[in-house]
Structure 1
Amino acid sequence: MEDSRYSIQEFIQKTKQEDKHQGLFELETSRLLEINLNGQVWAKAGSMVSYRGNIKFVRERMLEHGLRRLFKKALTGEGTSLMKATGNGKLYIADQGKKISILHLKDESLIVNGNNLLAFEQTIEWDIKLMRRIAGMLAGGIFNVKLEGNGRVAITSHYEPLTLIVTPDNPVFTDPHATVAWSGQLKPDFVTDVSFKTFLGRGSGESIQMKFSGNGFVVVQPFEEVYFSNDSKG
C-alpha cells in the first residue's frame, strides 16, 4: 500500500485556503489574517503577504491626517506606517509571524502599542497618543494608537497574549516593552524602580514600569518588543 503521508496532495489539503464566512476579518491561521475586502481598510505598511482580486495599496501620505498627527509621529519617533488597501478581493496580511487577535469594537475604545497594530476598519476613528512622561527614556521610543468607535481591529502579539483585569483596589504593573494594549478608559502612569533593573538585566538607566489603575484590562505578551525609530532602520 502506497504511503500517502507527506505527499503534495496531503500538504495542499492541510494548508489550502478555506472560506470560513466570518465577515470582513477572519483568521486563516492564528498568524495570518484574511480580509474579505469590499471597500477600504487600513493595515500596517509592508504586512501584505498575498491577495487576489482588484486591490490597490497606497502608503499613508505625510499630511494625510493633518499636521497634528504628523507632529506626533515626529515626536514619538514612530517607525510604523499605515497603508490603505482599497478594492474588492481577498487580502492576506501578517507581521513577522506574530499571533493575531481580532477585536470588534462596539462604541468602545482601545489603546494599542503601535508595533502591535495590524489592521482596522475605516469606520474606526484613530489617533496617536503621546506618552510625554516616558519620551526619551526608552531607546526608539514607544507610541500608542487610540482606536474607538464601531468596527473590527486586528492586533498582534509574540506568542499567546495574556489579559489582566484592572480594578480600583488591584492595579497592574507591566513592562512597557511587553505591553500590547489596554482598554481606553485606563490612563497609565509610569513608575521607576532603580533596584529592579538588576533583576531585569538592564545595564543602564532606571527600570521603567507602567502602572494601570481604575477599571479595565491590560493585554501583555511573553516577549519584550524591540523598538526602532525611522532613523535606526537605515
Structure 2
Amino acid sequence: MRTTFQDLGERESADAFSLQNAQLLKVELRDVTIQAKLGSMVAYQGDVSFEHAGMGGVGRFMKKALTGEGQRLMKVSGTGEVFLADTAQYVHLVHLEDDQLTVSGESLLAFDDGIDWDVERVKGASGVMGAGLFNTILKGTGWVALLTDGTPMVLDVASAPTFADAQAVVAWSAGVQTSLKTEFKAKNLIGRGSGETLQMAFSGAGWVLVQPSEGRPTVPTDGSGGGLGGLLGQ
C-alpha cells in the first residue's frame, strides 16, 4: 500500500510532555499521573486509566461553582502514552521550576498532578463579573500544557504599559500584577464592541501570553454523551 504518511509518525522525546505537532500533545506516563481537560484524549497506547479528577477541597469547589472558572478535569495514569488535543487549537508547553503561572481555565490542557492549583479573581475585579476575570493559579514544579486559538504572542510587561482584552489573555508569569481598566471612549472601537471596554492592565516584571482571538464558543455538556465525558460523568 502506498501512503503519504511517512512524515506523520510518532515523535520520540526524553521529556514526559512533548509536542507531536503544533496541535497535538503526547504525554509519557512513566509512573507519572497528570490532570487533563476532560474529553481531550484523542488516542493512547499501553495500560492507561482515566478517572474523574475531584476539585481537591470544598473551597476550590465553591470557587469553581461561583466563578465558572476552570475545566472539568480527568486524572490520567498508568504505563504508556496518551495523546491530547482540543479542537485543533495550538498547544504550548511551559515547565515550572518551583514557580507560578496564571492561566485562563479555558486555555489549560494538562499539567503534572503534583502541581498545586487554585482559582483567583483578577486584582481590581471585585464586584465585576465577566469572562477572563477569574483564572487558575498553578504552583510548583512540572509541565503545563496551554491551548491557544491561533498563534499567540508574548508581551514583555516591563517594557511598556500593557493592556489586553480579558478574553484574549491566555496566561502570565509570576511577578506580573494585574488590574482592570475601563475605557468608555473605546466602546465601539475595540474588538467586538462594548464588551471590550473592560481591559486587563499588566505591570511588574514578566510576560503575558495573548492569543489572536477572544476564545471559541463553549458548548455545554451534561456528561451524558459519548466518549470519556459520558463515561466519567460529572
Same fold (TM over 0.5): yes
SS of corresponding position for 1:35: strand
Say if 2:149 and 2:216, in contact at 8 Å, map to a contact too.
no
Whether 1:37 and 2:37 are equivalent positions in the alignment is no
Shift in Å, 1:15: 1.6
**Against the structure 1 CA distance between its residues 27 and 202, is the aligned structure 2 distance closer, same or farther, given a 3 Å change threshold?**
closer
Q: Note the residue ranges of structure 2 that are not aligned, 5 or more in a row.
A: 225-234
Partner residue in 1 for 2:102: 111
Say if 1:179 and 1:219, in contact at 8 Å, map to a contact too.
yes
SS of corresponding position for 2:185: coil
Whether 1:93 and 2:47 are equivalent positions in the alignment is no
Whether 1:213 and 2:206 are equivalent positions in the alignment is no
Quick one: distance in 1 between partners of 2:84 and 2:96? 20
Quick one: distance in 2 between partners of 1:195 and 1:40? 49
Over the residues paired in the alignment, what is the CA RMSD in angstroms?
A: 2.5
> Out of 46, 49, 68, which is 1:56 matched to?
49
| Equivalent AA in structure 1 for residue 183 of structure 2 | D
Say if 2:165 and 2:200, in contact at 8 Å, map to a contact too.
yes
Quick one: distance in 2 between partners of 1:104 and 1:79? 20
TM-score by length of 1: 0.85
Identity %: 38
Say if 2:177 and 2:202, in contact at 8 Å, map to a contact too.
yes
Whether 1:81 and 2:72 are equivalent positions in the alignment is yes
Quick one: distance in 1 between partners of 2:105 and 2:186? 26
Whether 1:223 and 2:216 are equivalent positions in the alignment is no
| Equivalent AA in structure 2 for residue 26 of structure 1 | S
Quick one: distance in 1 between partners of 2:2 and 2:49? 33
Whether 1:172 and 2:165 are equivalent positions in the alignment is no
Shift in Å, 1:79: 5.9
Say if 2:70 and 2:135, in contact at 8 Å, map to a contact too.
no
| Equivalent AA in structure 1 for residue 120 of structure 2 | K
Deviations 1:10-45 (A, max 9, x none): 322122223x22310010111000001123111111
Partner residue in 2 for 1:120: 111
Deviations 1:78-104 (A, max 9, x none): 362111001011100001111111111
Whether 1:26 and 2:31 are equivalent positions in the alignment is no
**Against the structure 1 CA distance between its residues 152 and 230, is the aligned structure 2 distance closer, same or farther, given a 3 Å change threshold?**
same
Q: Give the length in aligned residue pairs.
A: 222
Quick one: distance in 1 between partners of 2:134 and 2:149? 18
TM-score by length of 2: 0.85
| Equivalent AA in structure 1 for residue 36 of structure 2 | A
> Out of 152, 161, 181, which is 1:161 matched to?
152
Shift in Å, 1:170: 2.1
Say if 1:181 and 1:220, in contact at 8 Å, map to a contact too.
yes
**Against the structure 1 CA distance between its residues 109 and 93, is the aligned structure 2 distance closer, same or farther, given a 3 Å change threshold?**
same
> Out of 40, 46, 56, which is 1:47 matched to?
40
Say if 1:49 and 1:93, in contact at 8 Å, map to a contact too.
yes
Partner residue in 1 for 2:227: none
Say if 2:51 and 2:76, in contact at 8 Å, map to a contact too.
yes
SS of corresponding position for 1:195: helix
SS of corresponding position for 1:50: strand
